[in-house]
Amino acid sequence: MEPRPPSHSLSVMTRWMGPTDANSAGNVHGGTIMRMCDEVAGIAAIRHCGFPVVTAGMDRMTFEHPVLVGNLVTVRACVNAVWRTSMEVGVRVESENIRSGECLHTSTAYLTMVALGDDGHPTEVPPLAPETPDEERRQREAQLRRDNRLAEREHISRGRQDA
């Protein structure tokens, strides 16, 4: 399979936040933002591998500022690293005040997407070919998150056996 650069998977979605996206205080639900992240991350992963994908997990999601009704929310996603059948997709969320034009970086998320073949089982994905120092850094950091996740799982599993 031909390696693909992260830029090949870059995917962007912008939505205006309306009253149905929010609670009565006018703050947009975290779930609204998470859903957008999941959708755009899925599109980025599909672009990289050319197969349907499922979300296997979300490693991390931050909410650094509230998003308000009336804001524009832009979600950008790109594949950071790939393994055999899974890919880590990094997502950046920005909220824009339509009157002032002020943009705030409100969230970062890392999702693991798994490619499914025609038989519905995980299938191999093309390698990733980072082209810039930033892309190389993202790939290294994604590997660290995966190593930590697997080490934690192993640690918990051993703790249960010993208990």
Which residues from 95-114 bind ligand COA, rule CB under 6 A? 112, 114
Q: Which stretch binds ligand COA (CB under 6 A): 42-50, 55-63, 102-110, 126-134?
A: 55-63
Count of CB atoms within 10 A of residue 109's CB? Answer: 24
Does residue 84 bind ligand COA (CB under 6 A)? Answer: yes
Does residue 9 bind ligand COA (CB under 6 A)? Answer: no
Tokens of 144: 């660290």
Q: Do 110 and 80 contact (CB within 8 A), yes or no?
A: yes
Report the C-alpha gap between 143 and 137 in whole angstroms: 10
Does residue 56 bind ligand COA (CB under 6 A)? Answer: yes
Choose, by CB under 6 A, the member of 9, 11, 74, 85 that binds ligand COA: 85
Q: Which stretch binds ligand COA (CB under 6 A): 15-23, 83-91, 100-108, 137-145?
A: 83-91
Choose, by CB under 6 A, the member of 11, 71, 80, 86 that binds ligand COA: 86
φ/ψ (deg, to 5) at 35 = -65, -45
- Nearest Cα residue to 73 out of 22, 132, 115: 22
Which contiguous run of DSSP H or E holds residue 106? strand 103-115
Q: Which stretch binds ligand COA (CB under 6 A): 11-19, 77-85, 92-100, 102-110?
A: 77-85
State the DSSP code for 98: T
Helix (H, G, I), strand (E, B) or coil at 141: helix
Choose, by CB under 6 A, the member of 27, 32, 55, 143 that binds ligand COA: 55
Residues that bind ligand COA (CB under 6 A): 54-57, 83-86, 112, 114, 122
